[in-house]
Amino acid sequence: MTRKLITSLLAVGLCLALTGCGMMEKIFPVKKAEIEVQNKEKYEIVKTEKYKIAAIELTADVNTKKTYERQPDEAFKKAYQEFAVNMFKETVSREQNSLISPYSMIMALAMTANGANADTLSEMENVLGGGMSIDSLNEYLYCLQKTSNKDSGFKSAQSLWIKKNSVKVNDSFLENVKSCYDSQVYEAAFDGGTVSDINNWVNRSTDGMIKELIKEIGTDSFMYIINALCFEKKWDDPYMDYQVKKDKFTSIDGKSQDVNMMNSTEYHYIEGDGVKGFKKPYEADENGKRYNFVALLPDDFDEFVDNLTADKLMALLTNNIHTTVYAGLPKFSYDYSLSVKQSLINMGMENAFLPSADFSKMSDEKEIFIGDVIHKTYIDVSESGTKAAAVTAVEMDCGSTMPEEPKKVYLNKPFIYMIVDSQTNIPIFMGAVIEIK
C-alpha cells in the first residue's frame, strides 16, 4: 500500500510539472536527470517519515578513537569458518528450512564482547574468534565491514539501544562500538514506543525485508546491541523465461513437490566426499565479482551435515573445478527466526548468560548478563538475483580435477546453500532447503 502511495505521489508531482509549467519548460527545459533527482528526494522524505525514530540519538556525543584495519588472513578465515559451521550445525533442522548469517551474529556478539572481562571475555573470544583477542577481532571486523559496504548491493549497520535512567554504560565501551563498528547509539524509555523505534530501525536497515524484530521489551532488559544486514544482487547471468521450467523437488520426508526450476550452464563445479555442487556469480561491480551463490547437493543430507567441519567447507569453497555444469536451481523464498542462546552455550559461551557474568568493561553495575540472542533472516532467490537480510540482537539484562564431460547438479532434493564473499571465501549467509513452500 505504501509503495503504491509513493508511486502515486510521484506521478501527481510529475503531472503537475508537465501541465502547470508546460510553457515555462519550453523556455527553461527540465532535464530528465533533474526530474529523477527530485523524485528520489521526495521518495527519501516519505521513506524517512515511514521509519521515523522517536528515541534520542546520542551518537554525536560519543567520542571516537583511531581504529586500525587488519586484512582478513588465514587465521581470521579459519576462526570465522569454525563459528559459521558450528552455528550452522547447531541450527539446521529436518523440520523446516533454515538460514543464518554468521556475519550478522559475529558483528553483534563482537560488539557485546567489548564490554566483557575475565572468563566471560575469554569464552566469547574462543567462540567468536578461535581464541584471538577482542582487539584483533575488532580490527578484522572493522576492515571486513568497511570493504563489504563499498558494494552497493551490501549494507551492514549497527545500533546500540540503552534504557533511559537505568544502568550507567561506560564511555570506553561506547567509544569502542562507535569507533570499530560505526554503531549508532540511542537512549530510549524501553516502552511500546521503543519497540516501534527498534523495529523501524530494523525495517529501514534491511530495506523492508525484516519488518519486526521484537514484540515487547522485558522489564530486566537495559540494552539491545543490534546488527542488521541487507544483501540485494542480480545474477551476473540472469535466467531468461525459457530457462524456468516446471519440475519436481523431493523434500527431506520423501514427498514430491512442484517447483519452478531455473536451468543454466555454470562453470564452477564443486566436488567432495559424498557431495557435489556449483557456484553461480552475482553481477560485477566496482570491486569485481565479490559474491557467489554456492549450492551443495549431498548424497545423504544428514550424514553430510554431521561430518561437516570448517576445513572441509573451506576445501569445498576453494578447490572448485572450472568446467561446464548443467545446473538446476529451484526458485524459493522464506524467512526464519530463532534464539541462538542455547546454541552459543553449546558452543562454549556459557558464562555470558549467567548472572555471575563479568561485563565490567560495559558498566560498573553488578549482575549484567546476556538475556537472549535473537536472530532473524529472509531470503528470496529468483530469476533476476537474490535478496537476503539478517538481523541479530543481543539483549542485555541486569539483575536476572578437470572433467572431460559436463557435470550435472540439479537441486531437486534437500540442499545446502551459501552466499559467499569470493575474496575471502567466508559465508555471509548459510542455509538449508529441505522443502519448497
Out of 28-37, 211-220, 263-272, pick the least confident.
28-37
- Reported as type and span, the H/E element at residue 410 is strand 407-410
Alpha carbons 396 and 210: distance in angstroms, whole number: 22
Tens digit of pLDDT for each residue in 379-394?
999 999 999 999 999 9
Q: Is the pLDDT of residue 26 over 60?
A: no
- Name every residue whose Cβ is closer than 8 Å to that of residue 196 and which is 6 or more positions away in sequence: 54
**Chain center to CA of 376:** 9
Q: Is the pLDDT of residue 144 over 60?
A: yes
Domain assignments of the chain as residue spans, ordered by start: 74-232+339-398, 234-332+403-433
Query: What is the pLDDT averaged over residues 404-425?
Result: 89
**Position 398 confidence tier, pLDDT thresholds 50, 70, 90:** confident
- Name every residue whose Cβ is closer than 8 Å to that of residue 341 and which is 6 or more positions away in sequence: 353, 370, 372, 373
* Superfamily for domain range 74-232+339-398: Antithrombin, subunit I, domain 2 (3.30.497.10)
**Position 400 confidence tier, pLDDT thresholds 50, 70, 90:** low
Tens digit of pLDDT for each residue in 152-191?
789 999 999 999 999 999 999 999 999 999 999 999 999 9
Q: Is the pLDDT of residue 76 over 70?
A: yes
Specify the higher pLDDT residue, 75 or 10.
75
- Name every residue whose Cβ is closer than 8 Å to that of residue 38 and which is 6 or more positions away in sequence: 13
Q: Are strands 321-330 and 407-410 parallel, antiparallel or unpaired?
A: parallel
Write a three-state SS string for 184-242. EEEEECCCHHHHHHHHHHHHHHCCCCCCCCCCCCCCCEEEEEEEEEEEEEEECCCCCHH
For domain 234-332+403-433, give the fold. Answer: Alpha-1-antitrypsin; domain 1 (2.30.39)
The whole-number pLDDT of residue 399 equals: 75
The whole-number pLDDT of residue 404 equals: 53
Taking the CA atoms of the chain, what radius of gyration do you get in angstroms? Answer: 24
Q: Is the pLDDT of residue 49 over 80?
A: no
Q: What sign does the dihedral 422-425-426-429 (CA atoms) show?
A: positive
Q: Is the pLDDT of residue 242 over 50?
A: yes
Query: What is the pLDDT averaged over residues 233-242?
Result: 95
